[in-house]
Structure 1
Amino acid sequence: MSTLNEVQFFREMPQKHAVAVNIQHWQLRHQIQCPTRNDECVYATQHSVDSYNTETKRTTSLLAELAFKPVTIAASFEYIAAAGQRGQVVACELGSDESPVQIAAGRNCTNGLCVFDHHGQPRLLSCSNDKTIKVYSLPKLDLLHTIGFPEPVNYAAVSPDGRKMVAVGDGEDAYLYDISAGGEFTRTATLEAGRDAGFSCAWDRTSQRFAVATQDNHVRVWDVRDLAQPVAEIITTNELRTAANAPRSVKFSLTGPDLLLFSEHMRKFHVVDARTFNDRQVIQVSDPAAMVHICGVCLSPDAKTIFAATKVWIPRSNDSGEDDREKDEVTVELKNDLEIRGTLVSVDQFLNIKLDDIGIVNETKYPHMMSVKNCFIRGSVVRYVSLPAQSVDTALLQDAARREAQAGR
């Protein structure tokens, strides 16, 4: 269902607040939450997680001086958690005087977090590139269960009644689980979610329908009472499968009007009538040509306000003259087939590359590399360098090619 009636659920003239929300992984966009107050959001910024009150304009640090930059956060049921690219997970109870608890949940990137209630006991799901979901107690982060998957897991969501879980990852499937009273997870269905990886999923208030956002530019909704086919298929505003239009974060309203909210990779987010899936509003947060990335979206508890965090990734210099650009994650494939993923520190005219916070794509084949944190790669051994799509300024390249062609006439 890609042709929907255009309606207006929300005013399109937003209140803008100068809050620095950061993206640490180009595909993971769960950097903002609105857990308790209609006028307050929680967000990730550099080495901390802060809250911001839109009425008082006051910022409060919730998780301060972290040893990592959060790639994803979760906040619900009076708890907040954040995770990093090297398996770090930290959590605490909101308003508590107790110090946050931090653990190392492996060495792989933690892609998604979900705080949920299990029969009155708070729990945390941690979705990892190591092909597992780990279930922890809160606030102590004791490991309770480990659930294995055939591919890296990008996100998982638990239904409001605490009885079901849906998870998505780097494959084309979505996985549906039942959660027993004793806390056991049993897979009940494997659904063909799309033609590309899934990066977000969510449940509606009834715990009967769930949505999955996949990188093939679709959001699909299923009803657990009949899983034969989706009850709705919503396409983003561009039918071409480009990263800029991929849906990254999807949410249902849990109070107020029945709404489905999802963001695109850049510039836009959508509000859909979740009763019929026939009406939607597409909200443009920037000029179509601007490199504005959506860090995440969420609804306030009363579903009357949308919080949308954005970031412009444009290289610039600070007052000291130092480069203040966002560090990019790249993958370097060597001529011996070794693939190294890490944060790009520098590259020179000979393609000599320095990387920090590195990880190996195939760790089972190269276990001796798992302990290495940074490296220098000589350009003569490089076969390919894979860059995130948002790191390539196509407009600048086109302009340079145009000038070169005109100069050669």
Structure 2
Amino acid sequence: MDNMMNEEEDENDLYSNDTTAAQALDGKDIQGIPWDVLSITRENYRKNRLQSYKNFENIPNSGQASGKDCTNSEKGSSFYMFKKNFRSVKSTIPHFQLRDLVWATSNHDVYLMSHYSITHWSSLTRSVNEVLNLAGHVAPSEEHPGSLLEGFTKPQGTTLAVKYGMVVAGGLSGELICKHLDRPGVSFCYRITCEGKAITKAVDIHKSSSGALHFMASSNDCGVRNFDMERYQLVHHFHYPWPVNRSSVSPDGKLVAIVGDDPDGLLVDSNNGETVGKLNGHLDYSFASAWHPNGVTFATGNQDKTCRVWDVRNLSESVAVLKGNLGAIRSIRFSSDGQYMAMSEPADFVHIYDTNTGYSKKQEIDFFGEISGISFSPDTESLFIGIWDRSYGSLMEYTRASVAGSAL
């Protein structure tokens, strides 16, 4: 995309480059790409992308081999309708395999990583505000036992979670940084390990089985660490045979889905880390997982281009196997009412499935650019998609079809 197009717009007039639902209905490209003056049509460019995009695989040919047992899902549904594309909001990706960098806390409040800044975007006020600047020196303003009081210098944020009024960011060198949204300064800094390549791969803010607020960090050092967020104390440290890329806690806080640098994933007990069941079926490394609100169903996303849906009551086979178009499934989200599951590929495609139909009906959102993250709003009204592209990077907002008429 960057090589194909020139910067024809004035960077100082970004708001005028946003695309509204009304403009899209009138024929304007949702990203503002001027196909009518380019030397290639959208259809031909899409065809070229599908043929030339190279999916990253740790296990060769995993994407080609994974298609044989996929669920037959019917395209064409419109669960969420395009509302607006905000070209003024720039979302970036520090690590190409880690894409949980967009979080909605309401149907108009979104938090995202933008270069060395954690930023807040309000679609109501159309304003971007910096929540935390990571470009300089980051140190805690509060003293907690175990906090790294000297902090970090220019940590490169690789993963992000925003929930329950808290922000937790992970870094490329094993950093963990915690902040209250309603307080100035940083509350807690922690380095997972001083070993080389100790990337913090994912963070998950959740309620424990007792109702206490915790966060869980997954690391390239094969560890999963669970912290109490009231006192910022390390409660559990579990160790596995391979680097952990994502750990997701069940809604009741009792189970954890763990995936990483191994085709097989694990379902473990959150209190002791012991294996409850194994997840067999993926053909490559997994980087995404998420739980359905019912606490029975969860999903995992893999570099073999598939998302597998599981039922904790029977892990012998997947409930559904959902295939992407271009590449790995790098982010998965369920709506809070459980009706929809969204999964994103590395670029160009976000797929939304109706869980009530057994994942047999889906909507395919089609655009151009690397995807930094996806997030449903807590009330399920909105879906936000972060796009990282030098010329057409943006934040896209979709509105649930049942309320689309009042949102245009």
TM-score normalized by the length of structure 2: 0.70
1:23 aligns with 2:93: yes
- Counterpart of 1:60 in structure 2 is 129
- Counterpart of 2:237 in structure 1 is 146
Q: Which has the larger radius of gyration?
A: 1
Residue 166 of structure 2 aligns with an amino acid whose one-letter code is Y
**Displacement of 1:139 after TM fit?**
5.0
Q: Quick one: distance in 1 between partners of 2:281 and 2:181? A: 35
Residue 297 of structure 1 aligns with an amino acid whose one-letter code is I
- Find 1:206's aligned residue among 277, 294, 304: 294
Deviations 1:28-59 (A, max 9, x none): 1111111x311111111222211111111122
Q: Quick one: distance in 2 between partners of 1:72 and 1:59? A: 20
Q: Quick one: distance in 2 between partners of 1:61 and 1:193? A: 42
- Find 1:270's aligned residue among 347, 351, 355: 351
Q: 1:59 to 1:16 in 2, by over 3 A?
A: closer
- Counterpart of 1:50 in structure 2 is 119
- Counterpart of 2:313 in structure 1 is 225
Residue 188 of structure 1 aligns with an amino acid whose one-letter code is V
1:173 aligns with 2:255: no
SS in 2 for 1:133: strand
Q: Quick one: distance in 2 between partners of 1:156 and 1:76? A: 16
- Number of residue equivalences: 299
Residue 310 of structure 1 aligns with an amino acid whose one-letter code is I
- Find 2:202's aligned residue among 98, 105, 112: 112
**Displacement of 1:12 after TM fit?**
4.0
Deviations 1:68-120 (A, max 9, x none): 12110011222110011101110022213463311111131111110111122
Q: Quick one: distance in 2 between partners of 1:295 and 1:33? A: 11
- Find 2:221's aligned residue among 110, 130, 133: 130
Q: Quick one: distance in 2 between partners of 1:285 and 1:138? A: 38
Instruction: Give the conservation status (yes or no) of the 8 Å contact 1:91–1:139.
Output: no
- Counterpart of 2:182 in structure 1 is 95
- Find 2:334's aligned residue among 252, 255, 259: 252
**Displacement of 1:123 after TM fit?**
0.9
**Displacement of 1:209 after TM fit?**
0.3
**Displacement of 1:226 after TM fit?**
1.4
Q: Quick one: distance in 1 between partners of 2:268 and 2:390? A: 38
Q: Quick one: distance in 2 between partners of 1:89 and 1:99? A: 11
Q: Quick one: distance in 2 between partners of 1:71 and 1:284? A: 25
Instruction: Give the conservation status (yes or no) of the 8 Å contact 1:203–1:252.
Output: yes
1:345-364 correspondence runs (5 A):
none
Moved more, 91-100 or 246-255: 91-100
Q: Quick one: distance in 2 between partners of 1:285 and 1:106? A: 39
Residue 195 of structure 1 aligns with an amino acid whose one-letter code is L
1:307 aligns with 2:376: no
- Counterpart of 1:191 in structure 2 is 279
Deviations 1:318-371 (A, max 9, x none): xxxxxxxxxxxxxxxxxxxxxxxxxxxxxxxxxxxxxxxxxxxxxxxxxxxxxx
Residue 54 of structure 1 aligns with an amino acid whose one-letter code is S
Higher relative contact order (CA 8 A, sep 6+): 2
Deviations 1:222-263 (A, max 9, x none): 1111112111111112xxxxxx421100111112x6101010
Q: Quick one: distance in 2 between partners of 1:166 and 1:115? A: 14
Q: 1:265 to 1:45 in 2, by over 3 A?
A: same
- Counterpart of 1:344 in structure 2 is none
Moved more, 212-221 or 246-255: 246-255
TM-score normalized by the length of structure 1: 0.70
Instruction: Give the conservation status (yes or no) of the 8 Å contact 1:131–1:151.
Output: yes
Instruction: Give the conservation status (yes or no) of the 8 Å contact 2:177–2:186.
Output: no
Instruction: Give the conservation status (yes or no) of the 8 Å contact 2:71–2:320.
Output: no
Q: 1:193 to 1:140 in 2, by over 3 A?
A: farther
Deviations 1:145-202 (A, max 9, x none): 11111110101111111111101001001110123xxx43332111114000000000
Q: 1:13 to 1:37 in 2, by over 3 A?
A: closer
Q: 1:63 to 1:184 in 2, by over 3 A?
A: farther
Q: Quick one: distance in 2 between partners of 1:163 and 1:193? A: 24
Instruction: Give the conservation status (yes or no) of the 8 Å contact 2:71–2:360.
Output: no
Q: Quick one: distance in 2 between partners of 1:128 and 1:52? A: 28
SS in 2 for 1:285: strand
Instruction: Give the conservation status (yes or no) of the 8 Å contact 2:216–2:224.
Output: yes
Residue 29 of structure 1 aligns with an amino acid whose one-letter code is R
Q: Quick one: distance in 2 between partners of 1:151 and 1:135? A: 18
Q: Quick one: distance in 1 between partners of 2:336 and 2:253? A: 14
Percent identity between matched residues is: 25
**Displacement of 1:13 after TM fit?**
5.8
Residue 76 of structure 1 aligns with an amino acid whose one-letter code is K
Residue 167 of structure 1 aligns with an amino acid whose one-letter code is I
Instruction: Give the conservation status (yes or no) of the 8 Å contact 2:213–2:229.
Output: yes
Structure that is richer in helix per residue: 2
Instruction: Give the conservation status (yes or no) of the 8 Å contact 2:200–2:219.
Output: yes
User: Which ranges in structure 1 are unaligned for 5 or more consecutive residues?
Assistant: 238-243, 287-291, 315-409
Residue 253 of structure 1 aligns with an amino acid whose one-letter code is S
- Counterpart of 2:362 in structure 1 is 280
